[in-house]
Amino acid sequence: MDNVSAYCIPIGNMFIFWILAEFRYSKKSQKHTRNFALHSDFYEKVNRWKELLKNEVAHGVKEIRDLLLNPSVDELEKLGQISGALRFQTQYLHALHGRVIVLHQIKGTEQKITKKSFRSGTPVLLCRIPELTTINDCIVISCSGNQVSLKAKTKKEVNIDFSDEFVLIPSVGLGYLIALDEFLELKWRDFPGEKLIHYVHCSVPLPTSRPDEVSKKLVRLNEDQRRAVFAALNKSRPIVTIHGPPGTGKTAVIAEIVLEAVSRKQKVLICAPSNVAVNNIVDRLKDLAGICALGFNSELSLAAELEQHDKFVDIQCAFKKLDSGESNGISGNNHDEHKKAWHDASKMLWHLKETIISSKQVIVCTLTNNSLRFLREHGFQPSLTVIDEAAQALECVAWYSLLLSPRAVIVGDPWQLPPVLKTSRLLEMDDINNSLMDTLFKRFGKTNSFMLTEQYRMNKKIMEWPSSFFYQSQLRPNEHIADQLLSDISKVPKGSLFDEPMIFIDTSHDKSARSNEKLYRYSYANARKSS
């Protein structure tokens, strides 16, 4: 077994996790890995990633501090930078989330807590108003109606007065920075996906792959999609790239890859840079037995399954007693007893997590989910890692999840908007502000790359421009959508002005707000937009 220790180091208002791993090698393992030697340009790239991390963290801290210097709460509220005024409702120690703080909207305030601005997983600062004093760094657990639940970064009781008023300020999202930092500091040897780094960065040539399976059994898919699925399932292909524009069925392909892999007794880890992408995948696979999502607010989440387990009642009771003990004060011998009780409760929770996670066939999460670091220790060893929307993920962020399995499938659209960093241009680091998909195309070209070309989302006249401009005129419309008009899918009258695939409106001579509003009111949207 590997001995892995995690350390949490504070940097300003943030925490960077460092993992120090000690590995035991057999002689066979040492002999097998001795010839691996990454090129010097890769290590130079790692150093530049480290520099980028340092500056991105500093920039994020400065942004928060500048925001807190703004004396006008009303101005921040108008800009959407803070929630409406909140009041403390309760706090408690939860077995899964640690310290939970619950606040409610003060009656009469105009600004509502919006799910869009403060969705689950959003890092926020809890600040007292009017002086905007930071009370705690938190993560939003849930937001519904006029109530919001927060996970505090401390397990100790937070000193909050019921009469005080508070606001939430979106904090800098450091999840990807944590993932980057862990990748840079990890010793890669003995990880299942270690060889993938060497394949991608030229120290080891790709092995010759066996022919892909040829079958017509996936009748729901078109020919491009079938080829991509069978290539992804070919165990002699260590890494496969599947790409195509929106509407070509990339999520459907991912779902088929997962279903086929599970039917072959393989475990699959699915990651994406955003919660939206993760939720889309979960929706496709929600009827699959043995699937688990790492995150908040999902019936398939690890948290939901833990809370439904018979043993969780005892664990939660143990944490409630610990919380009660802290509230009443701890001293002398009670301190040692409290410490032992905390250890025992944490151990029970750990074993319950291990029981559930090790039994799963599929785990889905964002690339920056903190629980990724514990999957190996909890007995989840995937045969395959699938990354969706890979063009939006920095290469160094993607690597942490890829190290967990010996094979990878990278899915996305290389023409999609790339990952955005705030300091890369200032530091003249555009060369490392790349996605893993960019790196794979530069390294392998069309080798192990499969394009989806049949378009299910738009009329052929709409498709023609992006096809010729971005995709070398390779796209073709599905026969059922090629000539579809708004009158076919909405109440727009057939043959009317708006019953055309494309309409160009010259607004250069129309300066009045009134006429602009009129145009807006008579615009139409596709009522059956493809997901």
pTM value?
0.80
**CA dist list (Å): 420 to 3, 79, 123, 243, 424:** 35, 21, 18, 20, 9
Angle in degrees, 0-180, between the axes of helices 40-69 and 175-185, rounded to the nearest 10: 150
Query: Distance from first CA to last CA of the chain, Å, rounded?
Result: 43
Distance CA 245, CA 243 (A): 7
**Longest pairwise C-alpha distance within the chain:** 85
What is the model's pLDDT at position 57? 73
According to DSSP, the β-strands at 476-477 and 239-243 are unpaired
CA angle 312, 314, 316 (to 5 degrees): 65
What CA–CA distance (Å, rounded) separates 525 from 486? 9
In the three-class reduction of DSSP (H, G, I as helix; E, B as strand; rest coil), residue 435 is classed as strand
Specify the residue for token string 């890995």. 33
Q: Given this model, what pLDDT does residue 127 score?
A: 87
What pLDDT does residue 72 have? 66
User: How distant, in Å, are the alpha carbons of 85, 229, 450, 452, 459 from that of 225?
Assistant: 50, 6, 9, 6, 20
What tokens appear for 368 in the block?
């920056």
- What's the full length of the chain, in residues? 531
Structure confidence at residue 190 (pLDDT):
80
pLDDT tens, residue order, the chain (531 aa): 343 333 333 333 333 333 323 333 333 333 444 455 777 888 888 888 877 777 777 777 777 777 767 656 666 666 556 677 889 999 999 988 889 999 998 765 555 555 556 778 788 889 888 777 888 888 888 887 788 999 998 888 888 888 898 888 877 655 556 656 666 776 667 889 989 998 998 878 888 888 888 777 788 899 999 999 999 999 999 999 999 999 999 999 999 999 999 999 999 999 998 888 998 999 999 899 899 998 766 778 888 899 899 999 999 999 888 887 665 555 445 777 878 888 899 999 999 999 999 999 999 999 888 788 789 889 999 999 999 999 998 888 888 899 999 999 999 998 887 776 766 655 556 566 788 899 999 888 888 899 999 988 888 888 888 888 888 888 888 888 888 888 888 888 888 888 888 888 888 776 554 444 443 333 444 444 433
Closest CA to 221 of 459, 527, 446, 453: 453
Match 């785990």 to its residue by tokens: 363
> Residue 230: its pLDDT value, please?
95
> What is residue 58's predicted lDDT score, i.e. its pLDDT?
77
pLDDT of 354 reads 94
User: What is the gyration radius of the CA atoms in the chain, in angstroms?
Assistant: 26
Tokens standing for residue 251: 């999520």
pLDDT at 21 (0 to 100): 33
**Helices vs. strands in the chain: H and E counts, helices first:** 16, 17
Residue 419 is classified by DSSP as: P
Find, among 178, 151, 140, the residue nearest to 57 by Cα.
178
**In this structure, are residues 387 and 436 in contact, taking their beta carbons and an 8 Å threshold?**
yes
Helix 175-185 vs helix 395-402: crossing angle, to nearest 10: 70
Rounded to whole angstroms, the Cα distance separating 482 from 500 reads 13
Q: What pLDDT is attached to residue 428?
A: 58
CA-wise closest residue to 339 among 326, 350, 349, 328: 326
**Are residues 201 and 208 in contact, defined by beta-carbon separation less than 8 angstroms?**
no
| pLDDT recorded at residue 5 | 35
Q: Give, in order, the Cα–Cα distances in Å from 525 to each of 484, 486, 498, 499, 515.
A: 14, 9, 11, 12, 19
Three-state DSSP class for residue 413: coil
The three-state secondary structure class of 347 is helix
Cα angle 187, 14, 296; round to 5: 85
